[in-house]
Structure 1
């Protein structure tokens, strides 16, 4: 696929846990549907055995003014997918393409620009995550430190709790949790926020509770609703979003940051070969 289309599906997925049982039934229909049909409120209500008022409430929970606005975008971006795939290679590439399309639908360029400004102003940056998210946190540290950011990554739960004590208004803290449920990550964000630090949560789950202790909730696509999500690295959607932030941050004082990057590259190339023992 050589183009990207705005889709309502990742928005539905990120809000899925906020829905009632009836609304989850509506959500499942729009997520799983693969054919064009009459999407009018009356037709869908009859098909799903729900009221038109339920469709309206569902649409509003997704951030739309009403069902009409929701279904207009759904119809505009509806892409009929071919179910027959030949080979694992094509299947994996199609899933990656779907994730890229979902990232395009979720990314908020104004929000990314804000986060890049937070990075530019912060005296110290911390990024934390557990498991595969911890590996992504380490990757973020390695990339941003090469262009002059004073950044550290934390993957240990005890260190997250201890580091929370030292946060202040000069710090910026990134927490990475796809599920939005990692207790240690949320603890660090809450404590850092109380101490005046800027906080950013990277997650696939949208929850109003996050707004209480996060300056920014950066949504990424979820693998949960993909037919073959279990064969895709959970790091991929996180890395894509971090690359977008990196590109925005690099644009601020681009020459200086590219010079720093080149200097670190030269420093690595000058490393003396180890002597044979």
Structure 2
């Protein structure tokens, strides 16, 4: 992680810092030019904390030691172009989003969905707008494994298919807000036929939770506090990458996937 700037490390791990460690972070941000030249004891006195707390702070941000922290902080004094600054910032946002999503996934394991997929006759993946693109990608991956799946991205097709599903089938609803009217209506219709329903969303206590059997939460952009960064699908794609990886541990699915890819190469 040596290439990652202090600010990006802070973006990634800020949620895990204690009150004392956040105090250190604020001091460093406000004195970033002088801190690299402070001894750990001098720095602790100025901040009003202990050297051991500073050491823990450095390790939480994945520096091996205070000395490495100082050394790398010095190199950040070298001016970079605006493009480089933005690229570093976006990389930091990616890392923060993925780390935060990982911590959320620990509450409900993605393996629950993997098991449902394996034991369902047909998988129907719902998504509108940009979530429709994610739904299409997810269905494509499942089909390559030989899993019967389809992505539905318009309301008419969703409603028409919902009435034809049964208790052997599975709906996976992808919705940022958890309030997409077309998806909620489709799930309610399918629920009458005892279809199993899983949802992937970024909002807790949303309407979609009232119609699902299992719900998975991912990280939203609001944790970044930057209205210039817009990627609503990153955490969803991370989630389906995890599902894909779990499924491909199955030899049959893995062989099917390879066969499909081989046909394209011929």
- TM (norm. structure 2) is 0.68
Determine which of 118, 124, 129 is the counterpart of 1:131.
129
For the 8 Å contact 1:6–1:104, the answer to whether it is kept is no
Determine which of 188, 191, 195 is the counterpart of 1:190.
188
The answer on 1:35 being equivalent to 2:22 is yes
**Cα pair distance change 1:132/1:8, threshold 3 Å:** farther
Structure-2 separation of matches of 1:145 and 1:241: 17
Structure-2 separation of matches of 1:156 and 1:259: 32
Equivalent in the alignment of 1:262: 258
Q: C-alpha offsets along residues 77-127 of structure 1, whole Å, 9 cap, x if unaligned? A: xx78x9x99611111001101101111110137531121111001000000
**Cα pair distance change 1:110/1:207, threshold 3 Å:** closer
Determine which of 159, 162, 177 is the counterpart of 2:160.
162
**Cα pair distance change 1:203/1:8, threshold 3 Å:** farther
Structure number with larger C-alpha Rg: 2
Structure-2 separation of matches of 1:151 and 1:167: 12
Q: C-alpha offsets along residues 31-81 of structure 1, whole Å, 9 cap, x if unaligned? A: xxx9339xxxxxxxxxxxxxxxxxxxxxxxxxxxxxxxxxxxxxx9xx78x
For the 8 Å contact 1:170–1:197, the answer to whether it is kept is yes
Structure-2 separation of matches of 1:6 and 1:119: 35
For the 8 Å contact 1:95–1:229, the answer to whether it is kept is no
Q: C-alpha offsets along residues 221-242 of structure 1, whole Å, 9 cap, x if unaligned? A: 0113323354242111100011
Structure-2 separation of matches of 1:93 and 1:241: 18
Q: C-alpha offsets along residues 180-237 of structure 1, whole Å, 9 cap, x if unaligned? A: 1100111112222221111011100011754432111110101133233542421111
RMSD between aligned residues = 3.2
Equivalent in the alignment of 1:231: 229
How many aligned residue pairs are there? Answer: 206
Structure-2 separation of matches of 1:170 and 1:230: 43
Gaps of at least 5 residues in structure 1 are: 10-29, 38-75, 271-277
For the 8 Å contact 2:177–2:206, the answer to whether it is kept is no
Determine which of 219, 226, 249 is the counterpart of 1:221.
219
SS of the residue aligned with 1:116? helix
Structure-2 separation of matches of 1:255 and 1:266: 16
Structure-2 separation of matches of 1:131 and 1:197: 24
SS of the residue aligned with 2:239? helix
- TM (norm. structure 1) is 0.66
